[in-house]
Every structure is written in structure tokens, then in C-alpha cells.
Amino acid sequence: MDAYADDVELVTHGERLGLFGGPVTGKEAVGEWFGDWFRQFERDYRFDIEEAREIGGRVLLVASHHGHGRDSGVPVGERWAYVYTVRDGLITHLEIWSEPDARAAALKTLGRLERDL
């Protein structure tokens, strides 16, 4: 959480992520959001980064998530896309997509953000 600004904002897209509410504002609240998410899974939960690049002053990250549900033991696998805004070396805004084509949704938003600059 050291990489996050005190007033960071987290916005989530997609039905699964929507279960955890949003948007979330503030470093402590964002940390709790991630904690709530990770507590659902066994210790084997991990993500593999497939793509990371800068686009229009923001960072796009695409990752596959893998693991098992803590209570059910059911295997979990999803592909998410993240868009980070970094200012003065700290993350000030983060959006996460869990939709079927998360990467395309993130790229669409990045294009819209570039036009707004």
C-alpha cells in the first residue's frame, strides 16, 4: 500500500467486482477492499501478469488470476485489466475490469481518457 496516495480512488467494473462495492476512496479503504477480496481465497491465489505498458500517461496491466476458494475449494480463474494513474510517484486512481473482455474495456477507457486530456 506504500505505492498508493492517501486520497487514491478505486473504481471497479464487472459483476463479480461489483459485489465488493465501489468506488472506494482513501488509502485505508482501498487496502480494506483488497483485503476483503484476497480473504476469499486459499493461500495459493496468485496472478500472472500478461501485459504491462504505459498508454497516454497511465499504466495498463492485464493479469490472469488463479487459485481456490477459501470455503469451497473451487478452482478460480479470471482475467482482469487494470488502469493505474500515477502522480508524483504514487497511484492516485485505479480502475479494474473483470468483464469477459476486460482488456478491450480498459483500452476503450484509455482512449476516452486520452481524448479528455
Query: For each of the chain's 117 residues, which pLDDT tens digit applies?
Result: 999 999 999 998 876 665 556 689 999 999 998 898 889 899 999 999 999 999 888 999 999 999 999 999 999 888 889 999 999 999 999 999 887 788 888 888 888 654 443
The candidate with the shortest Cα–Cα distance to 10, out of 82, 114, 102, 112, is 82
Domain that holds residue 94: 4-116
Q: What is the number of domains present in the chain?
A: 1
- What is the domain-level CATH number for residue 36? 3.10.450.50
Q: What is the dihedral of CA 88, 54, 103, 6, to 10 degrees?
A: -10
- Evaluate whether 56 touches 114 at the Cβ level (below 8 Å): yes
Rounded Cα gap, residues 27 and 23, in angstroms: 13
